[in-house]
Structure 1
Amino acid sequence: MIPPFLALFCVGLCAGQGDIRRHESLPRPSISAWPSSVVPANSTVTLRCSAPTRDGNFALRKNGFPQGFVPSPDSPEGLAEFHLADLKNSNAGEYTCEYYRRESPHIRSPPSDALLLLVTGNFPKPLLQPHQRGKVTAGGKVTLQCQRPEHLTESIMFALLKKGTSTPIQIQNPVGKETDFSLQNVAVDDTGDYSCVYFQGKPPFWASEPSNHLAIWVTARDSLLEDTESSNRAETTLGTTEIILIIIFTLLFLLAAFLIYRYSNCGAALDKMTKSSHSSKKPEEVVTDVSPAVKSCSLALGCDKGAGQGCRGLA
């Protein structure tokens, strides 16, 4: 016995074909998969069909043909959830959903965009490897290469997956036995575990085992800028310190040179006074004509009344 909602859907389909304007006037629904549209065999996936209306019944199609899956009775208004359990290879394919009005006229909506459901495990896993190593700065580029085994000759496509997302990040045709996935202008949110699969691009859509996960780490550009500015500040501080030290050493050198010069002049003056004193005819005569420079030397050398003979003539 055909379920009532399928019978009503057939009525709506016929009515819709007779009135294209009303058919196109309904908003297009959207379809998504949870937890992912790429899942292993024997697992469970939920296909969700959403539309901006409460007056509608939903139907599911695979590869253009109606399916007998009944929406969950717990689905909220405007949303139909189709639970597909114990998945088999035959469940793989392109799914769309549509809805039709419960009340007259029973016209149906345009179909949603197609969602490709892949059931993995039919081929050996590929190899995923990066073109560059190490951390990536935000705003940069990441290139990942997915490579299938040598012996396969089927017409295939590649899909790049990220853990935690419900659909492939990218889908591409191969170049030989491999393909490159390019992630442009990456952000911190692109950090995560990536894998890839290859699959048939037409029914029955057989897919390989996923590759091993590859961790990608994206660092913030602001952090790098902050580190650079800190380094520049350190270099500036270091340059200032060096200049100060050079000035201090220069002053010390000049002071030392000045002291050496003063002491050298004082020594010559003292020696001259001593010779003059020894050459006097009368020992009791004392030299009283002492130049200012010699007096300065006496002060510099610490001469006083109790100093030695060299200082007596300066006291």
Structure 2
Amino acid sequence: MAPMVLALILGWWLMAAIRAQNVPRPSLSLHPSQGVSVGDTVTLRCHLPQSAAWVWLYQDRGWRYSKSKDKKQDAAEFSFVSTSQEHAGVYQCQYRVPESEEISEQSDPVQLVVTDRSYSLPGISLRPEEHVGTGTNVTIHCWNKDYGATFLLHKDGCSAPIQSQEPDSRGTATFTLFGVTPSDSGTYRCSYHPWGYPFLSSPLGDSVTLEVAPTPAPPGAVFTSHGNLVVVVAGGCAAAFVFILILVFFFLTARRCRIQRDESPGSPTKNPEAMEFQVSPGDSEGLTYIELQAVTSSTQPPTPPSALQPSVIYAEVATGGHH
């Protein structure tokens, strides 16, 4: 019996899921959308894309509100005449199509945040104070010693908090605005959520005003920029000149070392073709035939082996001092 019951439940759930895919999804809105305090009247409106027989409103705490609806109406309203802390939370709505069992999916969630004015006001400070130039980093501190909380930073004119921050051990939250511009000018306030109550809020505390002025260029900025350019170019030329001098120095040093190595006693002898003997014409009479032949052959350019011919040299050789 139990398996049959389970199969029926699964079948019904599957059919309901299939039907829900064919039914347009509703949407939910909050009126007023923010700034709801304890004791105020607030309305949650479920917008219906088609006629509905029944509409349900769900809260994340498990509460459910239902309402039958006229087929001609395109929205169903749920109002809390005197809002209390218990009304704070997350809501969704859903509807059923008339004369059928088709039920839509639930709408996107909507948060109802309720402000309780019995909570103490948070403190706030600004550093640097009020007037700053563009590009300055500005720090805003928010604190409250009575409640551990999550702090929210508000700017007048913005519908939602611009930042949230957990406090440190002293109950202070630090918000930093980096490199502010004139668009960051305005009035800032803090609020906080008590621990464990994310949809309850304190009232907005005292305000601080930030004025950001555009920082104009100094009068000598153009001249300074040209001067800096000249300095950079001159520095580049000087560096290139020093680099060339270093290259020349290393080249001359290497050449001097090579010359000294060639002239040292242990260095190899030069190529015979590069050696020259200078003999004055007047000294040729005192040379022997063998010496004269060596001098003559060393002063002649080398010829290929195939063209080598025996040299014939005529010389007068003195013998015994007689001619």
Q: TM-score, normalised by structure 1?
A: 0.49
By relative contact order (CA 8 Å, sep 6+), the higher-ranking structure is 1
Larger Cα Rg: Structure 1 or Structure 2?
2
